[in-house]
C-alpha cells in the first residue's frame, strides 16, 4: 500500500468530506475532487490551494483579512510565486458534471491517480429528490414520476467510477430520506445498495487496465453486523460523535470483496462521551445585529423595531398566561443599547472572546488557527422584515425562559403564537408549518444545518435575543465543524447553500480514521 492513499471525491460540494480525509495529510492525499456548481467549485479550489503548502503563506491570511480583494481570483491567485501551487490546485479541484462530462472526468481521474490501485472513492450524489423538502414538492406535483427524475439515478454515475477504477474502499453519503424514497413502488435504497455490490454488471462497464472486476460488500459505520435488515442502521447520528448538531445521514462503507475478506478491523465509529451544544461552538463569535429588509437598513431603525415591540403582543402574552415571556421581552427592551451593533463582514472582523469547548478539546483545536489572529470570515448577517424580527424576539425569548424554567417546549410552535404575531400564511397553523420559526436552543446540539438556511433563516434563529437574527454563514460553518480558516466563496446565499449541503469535516475525519485502519491492516499481496 502506497502512503498517502489517493482520494477521488465525487459530488464534492465545498469539500466537507475531503477535508476530513485531508486532515491526516500523511495518510491521505486528495488526488481529485469534482463539483459542477460554480461557487462550490470556487470554494473547493481555494481549499485545494490552501493544501498545497507545507506552511500556509502569510498572503493567504492577508486575503482572509480582506487585504487582497474580496475574492481569491482578484489578487491571491495572481501572485507569481504561487504559480506552481495554483496549477496543482487546479488539477485537484475540477469543475465537471457527472453524466455529461464523463469522458473528461475519467481522463482527469486517470491522470490524478496514475493507475494507483490503492485509491479510495468518497462523495454522495445530490439528494434533492430524496430530501423531505424535495419529496414534499414532488407530492404537490401530480405530473411527477420518480422513475422519470434523473436525480434519482445519479448514483449510477458514482457506480461507473467504481466499476472503471475499482477503488478498494468507497464512502457514499446521502440524506436519510433516501431510505423511504420509492420508484415503481420499490424502496430505492434497496436498489442502490444491491447495485453497489456489483457495479460492473449493473452499469456494464469493465475495469480499466485489465484489472479484475470485483464485487463489493456494504457495511455500516454504526453497526457491527454486515447482515443488516433495518436500513436505519446505516444512519449516523452526528450528535453522538462530537458534532454540535442533530444531523442524521445515511453513510455507506463499501469494501471491495478482497479487502472485506481480509478485514479484521471494526467499521464502527467510536461515540463521544458527551454531546456538544451550539453555544459552545459559536458563543465566542462577535455579536451582530440583523439587517433590515423593506426599510432603511440602519442601526437606529433596528433598535427602534425591537425597543418599540408591539404592546398588543405583550397584552396577548399575558392573556395567554405567558407573563414570563412578556416580562423577559420588556427587560430586553432596556438592554438593546448595551453592545455595539453592526452586521459583520465577509472578511476581517476581529473577535475579542476566545473559543473554549470544555467537552471537546479536539474540536476546539480543530476550529482554531492562531495565524488568523482572531479574525473571523463569512460572519455577516442577512436582512429581515421588521415583522419577522418581532417573531424572532418572541421565539428567542421563549427559548431563554424555557431553559431557565425547565419547560419541555423549548421553542414556540404556531399555536403558542399571539394572534398579532402570526404571519399572514394560510398554512401557518397546520402541522407542516407549525415550527416555521425555530430557535436553536443554546444548551443542546443544533438541528440539522441544511441548504434551506439560504432562503430566510426562520428555522435557524440565534439563541441570543439581544442579537435577534438568524445564524451567519460562519456560525452555520462552525456547527458543521468547518475550520475557521475555511473560506466560502460566492454570494452569501451561495455560501449558505454550500455549508448546508456539506458533510461535517470533523465527522469525516473520524470516518477517515476507520478507513485508514482497514487499509493499514490489509496483508501485502506480493503478486500485485
The answer to whether the beta carbons of residues 505 and 485 sit under 8 Å apart is no
List the beta bridge partners of residue 94. 34
Cα–Cα distance measured from residue 94 to residue 108, given in angstroms and rounded to the nearest whole number? 8
What does R_g of the chain's alpha carbons equal in angstroms? 24
The answer to whether the beta carbons of residues 495 and 473 sit under 8 Å apart is yes
Write out pLDDT tens, residues 145-196: 444 444 557 889 999 999 999 999 999 999 898 898 887 788 889 999 999 9
- pTM assigned to the model: 0.93
- Which domains, ranges and CATH numbers included, belong to the chain? 5-275+504-520 (3.40.50.150), 278-501 (no CATH)
By DSSP bridging, strand 248-256 and strand 349-350 are unpaired
Write out pLDDT tens, residues 229-279: 899 999 999 999 999 999 999 999 999 999 999 999 999 999 999 999 999
Give one DSSP letter per residue of 461-488, joined into a string.
B-S-TTT-SBPPHHHHHHHTT--TT-PP
List the beta bridge partners of residue 439. 461
- Helix intervals (H) in 227-360: 257-262, 278-282, 299-307, 311-319, 323-333
Under DSSP, the state recorded for 107 is H
Write out pLDDT tens, residues 198-209: 999 999 999 998
pLDDT recorded at residue 279: 97
Indicate the average pLDDT of the chain. 90
pLDDT recorded at residue 148: 44
Please list, residue by residue across 493-521, b when 16 or more beta carbons sit within 10 angstroms of its beta carbon and e when fewer do: ebbbbbbbbbbbbbbbbbbbbbbbebbee
Minimal CA–CA distance to 50: which of 285, 355, 364, 371?
Answer: 371
Q: 3-class DSSP state for residue 94?
A: strand
pLDDT recorded at residue 312: 87
Cα–Cα distance measured from residue 470 to residue 389, given in angstroms and rounded to the nearest whole number? 10
Which set of grid coordinates corresponds to residue 292? 433590515
Please list, residue by residue across 338-363, b when 16 or more beta carbons sit within 10 angstroms of its beta carbon and e when fewer do: eeebebbbbbebebeeebebeebeeb
- The residue whose grid cell reads 405567558 is 322
Cα–Cα distance measured from residue 122 to residue 134, given in angstroms and rounded to the nearest whole number? 24
User: Phi-psi region for residue 500, left (φ > 0), alpha (ψ -120 to 50) or beta?
Assistant: alpha
Cα–Cα distance measured from residue 522 to residue 169, given in angstroms and rounded to the nearest whole number? 12
Residue ranges in the chain whose pLDDT is less than 70? 127-152, 338-340, 430-434, 523-528
pLDDT recorded at residue 443: 94
Cα–Cα distance measured from residue 195 to residue 212, given in angstroms and rounded to the nearest whole number? 18
Residues 6+ apart with CB under 8 A from 142: none
pLDDT recorded at residue 187: 86
Amino acid at each position: 500500500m502506497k502512503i498517502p492513499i489517493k482520494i477521488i471525491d465525487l459530488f464534492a460540494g465545498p469539500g466537507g468530506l475531503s477535508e476530513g480525509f485531508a486532515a491526516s495529510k500523511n495518510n491521505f492525499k486528495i488526488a481529485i475532487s469534482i463539483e459542477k456548481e460554480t461557487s462550490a467549485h470556487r470554494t473547493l479550489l481555494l481549499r485545494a490551494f490552501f493544501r498545497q503548502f507545507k506552511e500556509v503563506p502569510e498572503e493567504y491570511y492577508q486575503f482572509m483579512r480582506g487585504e487582497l480583494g474580496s475574492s481569491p481570483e482578484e489578487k491571491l491567485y495572481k501572485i507569481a510565486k504561487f504559480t506552481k501551487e495554483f496549477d496543482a490546485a487546479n488539477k485537484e479541484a475540477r469543475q465537471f458534471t457527472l453524466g455529461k462530462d464523463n469522458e473528461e472526468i475519467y481522463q482527469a481521474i486517470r491522470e490524478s491517480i496514475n493507475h494507483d490501485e490503492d485509491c479510495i472513492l468518497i462523495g454522495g450524489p445530490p439528494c434533492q429528490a430524496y430530501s423531505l423538502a424535495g419529496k414534499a414538492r414532488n407530492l404537490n406535483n401530480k405530473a411527477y414520476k420518480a422513475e422519470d427524475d434523473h436525480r434519482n439515478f445519479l448514483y449510477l454515475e458514482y457506480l461507473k467510477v467504481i466499476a472503471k477504477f475499482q477503488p478498494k474502499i468507497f464512502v457514499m453519503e446521502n440524506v436519510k430520506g433516501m431510505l423511504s424514497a420509492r420508484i415503481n413502488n420499490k424502496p430505492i435504497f434497496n436498489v442502490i445498495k444491491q447495485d453497489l455490490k456489483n457495479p460492473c454488471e449493473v452499469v456494464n462497464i469493465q475495469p480499466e487496465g485489465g484489472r479484475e472486476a470485483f464485487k463489493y460488500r456494504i457495511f455500516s459505520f454504526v453497526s457491527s453486523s454486515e447482515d443488516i435488515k433495518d436500513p436505519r442502521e446505516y444512519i449516523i447520528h452526528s450528535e453522538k460523535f462530537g458534532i454540535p448538531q442533530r444531523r442524521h445521514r445515511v453513510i455507506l462503507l463499501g469494501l471491495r470483496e478482497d479487502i472485506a475478506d481480509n478485514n479484521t478491523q471494526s467499521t464502527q465509529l467510536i461515540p463521544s462521551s458527551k454531546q456538544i451544544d451550539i453555544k459552545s461552538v459559536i458563543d465566542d463569535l462577535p455579536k451582530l445585529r440583523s439587517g433590515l429588509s423593506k426599510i432603511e437598513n440602519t442601526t437606529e431603525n433596528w433598535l427602534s423595531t425591537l425597543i418599540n415591540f408591539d404592546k398588543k403582543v405583550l397584552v396577548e402574552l399575558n392573556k395567554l398566561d405567558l407573563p414570563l415571556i412578556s416580562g423577559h421581552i420588556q427587560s430586553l427592551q432596556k438592554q438593546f443599547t448595551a453592545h455595539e451593533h453592526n452586521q459583520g463582514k465577509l472578511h476581517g472582523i476581529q473577535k475579542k472572546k476566545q473559543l473554549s469547548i470544555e467537552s471537546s478539546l479536539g474540536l476546539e483545536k480543530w476550529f482554531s488557527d492562531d495565524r488568523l489572529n482572531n479574525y473571523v470570515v463569512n460572519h455577516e448577517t442577512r436582512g429581515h422584515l421588521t415583522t419577522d424580527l418581532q417573531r424572532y424576539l418572541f421565539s428567542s425569548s421563549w427559548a431563554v425562559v424555557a431553559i431557565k424554567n425547565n419547560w419541555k417546549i423549548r421553542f414556540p410552535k404556531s399555536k403558542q403564537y399571539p394572534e398579532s404575531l402570526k404571519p399572514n400564511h394560510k398554512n401557518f397553523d397546520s402541522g407542516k408549518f407549525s415550527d416555521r420559526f425555530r430557535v436553536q436552543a443554546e444548551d443542546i446540539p443544533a438541528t440539522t444545518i441544511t441548504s434551506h438556511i439560504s432562503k430566510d433563516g426562520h428555522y435557524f434563529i440565534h439563541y441570543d435575543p439581544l442579537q435577534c437574527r438568524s445564524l451567519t454563514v460562519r456560525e452555520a460553518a462552525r456547527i458543521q465543524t468547518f475550520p475557521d480558516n475555511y473560506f466560502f466563496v460566492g454570494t452569501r446565499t451561495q455560501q449558505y447553500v454550500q455549508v448546508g449541503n456539506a458533510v461535517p469535516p470533523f465527522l469525516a475525519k473520524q470516518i477517515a480514521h476507520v478507513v485508514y485502519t482497514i487499509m493499514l491492516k490489509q496483508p501485502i499481496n506480493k503478486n500485485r
